[in-house]
């Protein structure tokens, strides 16, 4: 995928922001098309839209739901969970990749419906609670880098990968499929939005103090994570549509097992960040 596509997909986070709690605009509607839910691997299911993702992680003691899409994605996610034969009342934890309207917009509604505990990284709490660009939602538990959420023998680990937002979180989990163990990485986002400023200057302040160092640390973290199964907050980051179609054609293959695709994504995202940094430095 080209770098411009990375920028395009997350540009909606900013472009659509002034439309307070409104329906997704034309650009974001394209990312929010209904998709038939499906089994990805092990205990992980896809319940998201065409590009804004949502994942159901199933355990013997209840389920974990990662990301809520736009506000109007929530009913779609609810229908997808039911279509797969799971119960919304079994969702015990709601997790979030980051506090932008295309990933956190549906959390308030999903929390209402499931009565699940909403778990969020400290850096994103004020954005989640403010309700500025999506329905406000107060976390039930505030976490920090390295904290875990455990349920029914499944442990999800939260890695702070800040920059895209202050509390942007990459979740990891190990899953078993056909007797094999796989490291799964759910990338938050490492995109630099067109409106972001990375360098702090008197007449052009950084998007937030320390954003440049946060991104640099994020790329170190992403490179350090073992990854067999590559998933992310946007389907376009990892070729969701292509992989879904490939799996439907040949169920014997699982294209979501893609360690090389993960490494390539990290390289691409870091290159885009470096390009932006050079641009700001006037190089």
Concerning whether 93 is annotated as a catalytic residue, the answer is: no
Q: Which of 45, 100, 182, 214 is catalytic?
A: 100
Least distance from Zn ion to the Cβ atom of residue 47, Å: 19
Concerning whether 234 is annotated as a catalytic residue, the answer is: yes
Choose the binding region for Zn ion from 6-14, 128-136, 177-185, 216-224 (rule: CB under 5 A): 6-14
- Which residues inside 183-222 make contact with Zn ion, applying CB under 5 A? 189
Kindly state whether residue 100 participates in binding Zn ion, applying the rule CB under 5 A: yes
Kindly state whether residue 120 participates in binding Zn ion, applying the rule CB under 5 A: no
Least distance from Zn ion to the Cβ atom of residue 35, Å: 19
Count Cα neighbours of 165 within 13 Å in the Cβ-side half-sphere: 29
Token couple for 7: 């920028």
Whole-angstrom CA distances from 114 to 65, 105, 173, 222 are: 10, 15, 22, 31
Kindly state whether residue 128 participates in binding Zn ion, applying the rule CB under 5 A: no
81 phi and psi, to 5 degrees?
Answer: -60, -45
Least distance from Zn ion to the Cβ atom of residue 192, Å: 11
Choose the binding region for Zn ion from 99-107, 111-119, 178-186, 221-229 (rule: CB under 5 A): 99-107
- CB-CB contact of 94 with 111 (8 Å): yes
- Which residues inside 226-245 make contact with Zn ion, applying CB under 5 A? none
16 phi and psi, to 5 degrees?
Answer: -85, -5
Q: Which is nearer to Zn ion, 13 or 227 (CB)?
A: 13
- Which residues inside 13-52 make contact with Zn ion, applying CB under 5 A? 13
| Alpha-carbon span 103 to 145, nearest angstrom | 19
Kindly state whether residue 159 participates in binding Zn ion, applying the rule CB under 5 A: no
Choose the binding region for Zn ion from 11-19, 46-54, 249-257, 271-279 (rule: CB under 5 A): 11-19
- CB-CB contact of 57 with 49 (8 Å): no
Kindly state whether residue 10 participates in binding Zn ion, applying the rule CB under 5 A: yes
Q: Which is nearer to Zn ion, 100 or 244 (CB)?
A: 100
Concerning whether 279 is annotated as a catalytic residue, the answer is: no
Q: Which residue is nearest to Zn ion (CB)?
A: 100
Least distance from Zn ion to the Cβ atom of residue 83, Å: 27
Query: Which ranges of 57-173 would DSSP assign to H, the alpha helix?
Result: 74-83, 101-104, 107-114, 125-130
Question: Among candidates 14, 51, 2, which has minimal Cα distance to 271?
Answer: 2
Give kind and range of the element (H or E) at residue 158: strand 154-160
Residue matched to tokens 């034969």: 85
Does residue 67 come out as left (phi exceeding 0), alpha (psi in the -120 to 50 range) or beta? Answer: left
| Alpha-carbon span 28 to 12, nearest angstrom | 6
Concerning whether 103 is annotated as a catalytic residue, the answer is: yes
Q: Which of 63, 80, 234, 238 is catalytic?
A: 234
Residues that bind Zn ion (CB under 5 A): 10, 13, 100, 189
Active site residues: 98, 100, 102-103, 164, 196, 234
């Amino acid at each position: 995928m080209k770098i411009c596509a990375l920028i395009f997909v997350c540009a909606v986070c900013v472009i659509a922001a002034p439309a307070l709690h409104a329906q997704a605009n034309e650009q974001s509607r394209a990312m929010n098309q209904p998709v038939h839910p499906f089994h990805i691997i092990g205990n992980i299911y896809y319940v998201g839209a065409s590009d804004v993702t949502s994942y159901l992680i199933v355990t013997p003691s209840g389920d974990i739901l990662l990301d809520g899409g736009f506000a109007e994605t929530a009913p779609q996610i609810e229908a997808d969970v039911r279509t797969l034969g799971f119960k919304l009342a079994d969702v015990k934890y709601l997790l979030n990749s980051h506090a932008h309207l295309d990933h956190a917009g549906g959390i308030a509604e999903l929390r209402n419906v499931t009565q699940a505990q909403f778990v969020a990284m400290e850096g994103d709490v004020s954005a989640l609670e403010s309700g500025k660009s999506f329905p406000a939602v107060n976390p039930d538990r505030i976490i920090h880098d390295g904290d875990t959420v455990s349920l029914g023998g499944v442990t999800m680990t939260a890695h702070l990968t800040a920059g895209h937002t202050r509390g942007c979180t990459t979740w990891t989990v190990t899953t078993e499929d056909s007797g094999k163990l796989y490291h799964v990485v759910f990338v938050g986002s490492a995109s630099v939005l067109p409106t972001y400023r990375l360098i702090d200057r008197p007449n052009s302040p950084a998007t937030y103090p320390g954003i440049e160092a946060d991104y640099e640390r994020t790329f170190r973290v992403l490179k350090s994570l073992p990854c067999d199964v590559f998933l992310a907050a946007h389907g376009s980051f990892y070729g969701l549509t292509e992989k879904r179609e490939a799996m439907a054609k040949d169920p014997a293959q699982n294209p979501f097992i893609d360690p090389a695709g993960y490494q390539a994504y990290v390289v691409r995202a870091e290159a885009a960040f470096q390009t932006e940094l050079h641009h700001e430095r006037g190089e």
